[in-house]
Chains A and B, each alone.
Chain A
Amino acid sequence: MSEHLLDVDDLYVEFRTRDGVAEAINGVSYTLDAGETLAVLGESGSGKSVTAQTIMGILDMPPGFITGGRILYNGKDLLTMPESERQKIRGAEIAMIFQDSLSALNPVFTVGDQIAEMFQVHRGMSKKEGMAKAVDLMEQVRIPAAKDRVKDYPHQFSGGMRQRIMIAMAISLDPKVLIADEPTTALDVTVQAQIMDLLKDLQRERNMGMILITHDLGVVAGVADKIAVMYAGRIVESANVWDLYAKPAHPYTQGLLDSMPRVDSKGEELYAIKGLPPSLLALPPGCNFNPRCPHRRERCVREVPPTEEVAENHTAACFFWKEVARG
């Protein structure tokens, strides 16, 4: 098997807090290749952002602790790399953009300064050269009048524009992997579409691998190649985008799809998965989803379901996926 660009292999991360140990990530594995878009789907608390932060190496440790697994980038394990080497990769080869662009950008430096910083630190360029590059990048992310606005501050831009600036900063050094953590959640719908289009175009031009973290099924459909659904720190289902939407094999995925409002379901009550996501300090025994699962049996409380192959490139972690697939 040829090497993947990024290979997260059986990752375990926990948080040791005053109230106990929170098992945030429990054996997560996924892969990403160049030019591919992987969507990581899940509710808050599922561990999707923590995985991304672990890949980037920006997790707060303590209270976070990586207790198992490897993260291979081009075959080399990031977790055992010395920090100095990891720093060179961070931002330059693996980059990340965040949800709230106003708080994610430094309010006291100009946007040009913050973009130029990438070139100054990683490529040793001068401030002037960096600023020129910044203008160029701002144009690439379709910010009008970039030359005039390069010396403006983040709070002088609208939400959509600021997100573009974050994207510009992230792609400035042509990274191989771009991780987008809920990039459009804080934006309104029309701007959402524009940002997603921009990301897709940039990815295509640069053949980047993209990990899109979101809880919004609607955003995923147009952009992703494959999807990993996370619940309570585990991947419960993983498939390519068509198979996931058409033939879900895990009750959780089925529930998510059912709870999406549809144009043709007028007059019907909106479905919602009953219950709440579990506390990571005290995960339910057996299958973590069992308290909320309509297909629950006694076995689900006793044993943790392994990841079973449902079809080619389609896995699900459920004992009774056949029932789910049948509908």
Chain B
Amino acid sequence: MIPVVIGTTFIIYAMVWALPGDPFVGKCGDRPCPASYIAEMRAKFNLDDSLPVQYGKYLWNLLQGNFGESFSGRTVWSEITQAFPVTFRLALIAIIIEIVIGITAGVLAALNRGGFWDNLILVTTLIVISIPVFVIGFLAQFTFGIKLGWFPPTVGPNATVYELILPAFVLASLSLAYVARLMRGNLAENLRADYVRTATSKGLSRRRVIGRHAVRNSLIPVVTFIGADFGALLGGAIVTEGIFNIRGIGGLLYLSIRTREGATVVGVVTVLVLVFLLVNLLVDILYGAIDPRIRYE
């Protein structure tokens, strides 16, 4: 996993600092920056060294916990630690919504194979998957926030749980649809499996056969998907945070990209990627824990 981490962070670093374009555009207001400023900044960010050396120095700092500073002097680390909790709360609520609604819908659809509920869930999830997140976001904001007024249309600085519910729904919508479809497919397939026939012939009630035997087997890939999704949610909330004005990691990232705050971008993305990889690792372990076939390979 280490080479992957190094590779990923290197590519990000390269994309931020080494791609064509002047990193100091717009930093000093309407006028181009004075030469002394540029020289100072270049030294500070090691921009005069070759790319691998730059990266090496950055990595060295990283290992010591120093994520560097933004152009304005704030430490990247403090910016991250301020924004992270909000995004974490948002992602957590979204995951809960995803699990509860997604799995329930999937089970309902599989049990009702070919029937009204199945078709309804299939069509609804298809539509949700197709509509881009920001459209869903606007729709939700407009309908529930502005027209109906059930939830605040934007999130305040405290980012309370109540304020986060609507954006969490929006964030969860795509994943929810995937979870429902995944669960439906798995359960429908497992219901036709031989061991279900054996369980029935053991005289077990239909509820037990489905609820204990079939669902347990079907959940395995779903759980791993949800696990991986959590990592993705943490980093992918850019659009949702933008629409609902949430001051989380997504918003921070977006802002720093637009203002070309290279250090912040690299720092934030590095953290996100690390979290993503960590979550994937945990999911792999989790998979081994819940699927005995993998465990005893």
Contact = CB atoms under 8 A, between A and B. Distances in A.
Chains A and B come from one and the same complex:
yes
B197 A98 contact: yes
Interface string B192-219: 0111011111111100100001001100
Interface in A153-167: 153, 155-156, 166
A87 B199 CA distance: 12
Contacts of A96: 201
Given A58-B197, A98-B198, A100-B194, A90 B292 contact: no
A153 B217 contact: no
Interface in A95-140: 95-96, 98, 100, 103-109, 117-118, 121-122
A92 interface: yes
B213 A92 contact: no
Given A87-B205, A90-B201, A155 B195 contact: no
B203 A155 contact: no
B49 interface: no
A53 B251 CA distance: 61
Contacts of A104: 194-195, 197-198
Interface residues of A, number: 28
B239 interface: no
Contacts of B200: 58, 90
Contacts, number: 72
B195 A105 contact: yes
A34 interface: no
B162 interface: no
B194 A98 contact: yes
Given A89-B203, A91-B201, A106-B199, A155 B296 contact: yes
A155 B115 CA distance: 35
A88 interface: yes
B296 A156 contact: yes
Given A106-B213, A107-B292, A108-B217, A122 B193 contact: no
A56 interface: yes
Interface in B254-296: 290-293, 296
B12 to A, nearest CB: 39
Given A58-B197, A108-B216, A90 B291 contact: no
Interface in A56-84: 56, 58
A169 interface: yes
Interface of B: 193-195, 197-205, 208, 213, 216-217, 220, 290-293, 296
12 contacts: A58-B200, A106-B199, A107-B292, A108-B216, A108-B217, A108-B290, A108-B293, A109-B216, A153-B292, A153-B296, A155-B296, A156-B296
What 8 pairs across the A-B complex have the smallest Cβ distances? A91-B203, A90-B203, A103-B194, A91-B202, A106-B195, A153-B292, A104-B198, A96-B201
